[in-house]
Amino acid sequence: MTKLEVKPRVSGLRPECLPFSEVIAQSIANIAPTVTPTVNAALVFASAGTGTWFTYVLATIGLTFVGININQFAKRSASPGSLYAYIARGLGPMAGVLTGWALILAYALTAMAVTSGFASYAAVLLGAVGINPSPIFLFAICVGLAWYVGYRDIKLSTVLMLILEAVSVGLIIILGMIILGEKGYVVDSAQLTLQDAKPSGIVLGLVLGIFSYVGFESATTLGDEAKQPLKNIPRAVIISTIASGIFFVLMSYVQVLGFQGAPVKFNESAAPMSDLANFAGVGFFGILISMGAAVSMFACTLASINAGARIFFSMGRHGIFHRSIGRAHGRNETPHVAITIAALSTFLVPTIMNMSGVKTLDIYAYTGTIATYGFLVAYILISIAAPVYLHREHQLRWTDTLFSVLAIGFMLIPVLGSIGLPGENSIFPIPPAPYNAFPYLFLIYMVVGAVWFFILRSRSPNLIQEMESDIEASHTRFSDMKKV
């Protein structure tokens, strides 16, 4: 067979430098598994109660279906554009641009949320030794270091993220085993029978639970930098989701069990893992896990900046934003302009909110909630785009349609839960202020993105055609590689 000439990559990012371990590190660091038992699980418990573990089962199943739809594209082509490029290919340029617009906000706000979480945990740790820095100083430390690593070298970024997350998760698992040993039993009938858990509480908990997983798809942003991208990226998407889900289900079960009969309630604990360590007589573990939580949140800040910057970079290359954003550093081969802008916004917004009197953990909750909407838009659109694309390619199977419908159905639950429906006994109660306003703020943001797209298309119709051609060329390049 004649060898076909394959069009080289022109993004300027370092080609095929990341093995599977570093590709999956991007997704795992963006999920930040340590953050769920240290922060998120208590928020889910406040709504779902004994159904907390079941909430995470539902979230894992739903996001696995989303991952299957993502992989319909990821196993056929790869680029730094991630879901933005996939959806543009499946549903057209407008849907693609709106997805990119939503994901840029989602990754940026996730970075802001975990930067605030980092500041909160770091302040507790430093306060124990008599050092009381301002939150803004801690924001600067977290974002400044993340900017330097992301600007300098993607391999340094992924290796660092993998090490930090592995250490943190390992400590939490060990403490979980100690808690079970201290309790002397594993079977908790109250949890297994969902005693006192209400459907509306589980639905509201699912809204919060989804945030524990967001960013699992961020390995797709390493399309140009991953080795064997059509193999390693799909594996990273699915494995990171299922592995994190199992960890969340088991640890939330152990945490609820551990807080039974405790002097403080799970959802009222300021540091759940530290309290559990004290209950089990191993208080030093609480300090270690608090340190792990801080570094995990730093790793998530780095992962979010890396992922968001690469989508920003791809849209800059396509002319959706200023072309300078689509430039890669000549020596480092990183999207340095996009990373710098992402890092500045990650620092400035929490700083302004803190100066306005918003507490760091409230910044975490507010920015994290709005970030989830951006991911949900992308997850729903990719689940619609997958069967449309497969049908056009004459490769659609009935199972593909089923996975699409299931993914959309699961993702609509947190969408409805975040908006709420009127009625005292509604399964989707209207969230309390200020959370009830967040969906509408996000909608305004999306309308601005749609208006921006229409202005671009009217002023530069060729620009949209060039974007489509570039995305098609990326897909064709991989099709050609398979023929070699």
Handedness of CA 369, 165, 119, 154 (dihedral sign): negative
Q: Which SS3 state, helix, strand or coil, does residue 443 take?
A: helix
- Judged against a pLDDT cut of 90, whether residue 141 lies above it is answered with yes
Residue 310 near residue 158 (C-beta atoms within 8 A): no
What's phi and psi for 91, nearest 5 deg?
A: -120, 0
Interval 73-93 mean pLDDT: 84
Query: Is 46 exposed, middle or buried, given 0-12, 13-18 or 19+ CB atoms closer than 10 A?
Result: middle
Return the domain boundaries, the chain: 20-483
- Which letter, b or e, does each residue of 92-120 get, where b requires 16 or more Cβ atoms within 10 Å of its Cβ? ebbbbbbbbbbbbbbbbbbbbbbbbbbbb
Residue 3: the pLDDT is 38
**Domain 20-483 sits in which CATH superfamily?**
Amino acid/polyamine transporter I (1.20.1740.10)
| Half-sphere CA count of 440, side-chain side, radius 13 A | 8
Residue 381: the pLDDT is 96
Residue 392 near residue 410 (C-beta atoms within 8 A): no
Q: How many CB atoms lie within 10 A of CB 161?
A: 27
Alpha helices by DSSP H, listed for 153-222, are: 154-183, 189-192, 199-210
Please give the radius of gyration of the chain, using alpha carbons only, rounded to the nearest integer. Answer: 22
Residue 402: the pLDDT is 97
Please give the Cα distance from 102 to 87 (Å, whole number). 12
Going by pLDDT thresholds of 50, 70 and 90, the confidence category of residue 271 is confident
Alpha helices by DSSP H, listed for 32-153, are: 35, 41-48, 52-74, 82-91, 93-127, 135-152
Going by pLDDT thresholds of 50, 70 and 90, the confidence category of residue 234 is very high
pLDDT digits (tens, 9 = 90+) for 382-393: 999 999 999 999
pLDDT digits (tens, 9 = 90+) for 101-137: 999 999 999 999 999 999 988 988 898 788 999 999 9
pLDDT digits (tens, 9 = 90+) for 196-215: 888 878 887 887 788 899 88
18-22, 248-252, 357-361: the lowest-pLDDT one: 18-22
157-161, 219-223, 239-243, 383-387: the lowest-pLDDT one: 157-161
52-66, 190-204, 464-478: the lowest-pLDDT one: 464-478
53-62, 91-100, 312-321: the lowest-pLDDT one: 312-321
- Judged against a pLDDT cut of 80, whether residue 7 lies above it is answered with no
Going by pLDDT thresholds of 50, 70 and 90, the confidence category of residue 142 is very high
Tokens 């989830």 correspond to 372
Going by pLDDT thresholds of 50, 70 and 90, the confidence category of residue 316 is confident
Residue 71: the pLDDT is 95
Interval 311-333 mean pLDDT: 82
Residue 481: the pLDDT is 47
Whether this prediction's pTM lies above 0.85 is answered by: yes
Vertex 24, ends 5 and 102: CA angle to 5°? 85
Residue 332 near residue 149 (C-beta atoms within 8 A): no
pLDDT digits (tens, 9 = 90+) for 444-463: 999 999 998 888 888 887 87
Please give the Cα distance from 154 to 160 (Å, whole number). 10
Q: Which SS3 state, helix, strand or coil, does residue 1 take?
A: coil
What are the structure tokens assigned to 401, written together?
């349609």
What's phi and psi for 328, nearest 5 deg?
A: -105, 150
Residue 156: the pLDDT is 60
Residue 464 near residue 456 (C-beta atoms within 8 A): yes
Tokens 């920003």 correspond to 312
Going by pLDDT thresholds of 50, 70 and 90, the confidence category of residue 224 is confident
- Judged against a pLDDT cut of 60, whether residue 5 lies above it is answered with no
What are the structure tokens assigned to 368, written together?
């994290």
Alpha helices by DSSP H, listed for 259-282, are: 272-279
Interval 314-339 mean pLDDT: 83
Interval 2-31 mean pLDDT: 69
Residue 116: the pLDDT is 95
Q: Which SS3 state, helix, strand or coil, does residue 441 take?
A: helix
Which residues 6+ apart lie within 8 Å of 169 measured at CB? 33, 34, 247
328-342, 371-385, 458-472: the lowest-pLDDT one: 458-472
Which residues 6+ apart lie within 8 Å of 251 measured at CB? 36, 37, 41, 172, 173, 176
What are the structure tokens assigned to 168, written together?
């943190």
Going by pLDDT thresholds of 50, 70 and 90, the confidence category of residue 237 is very high
Handedness of CA 460, 465, 466, 468 (dihedral sign): positive
Q: What is the DSSP letter of 356?
A: T
- Judged against a pLDDT cut of 70, whether residue 378 lies above it is answered with yes
Residue 8: the pLDDT is 42
pLDDT, mean over the chain:
86
Going by pLDDT thresholds of 50, 70 and 90, the confidence category of residue 484 is very low
Q: Which SS3 state, helix, strand or coil, does residue 170 take?
A: helix
- Judged against a pLDDT cut of 80, whether residue 278 lies above it is answered with yes
Please give the Cα distance from 153 to 159 (Å, whole number). 10
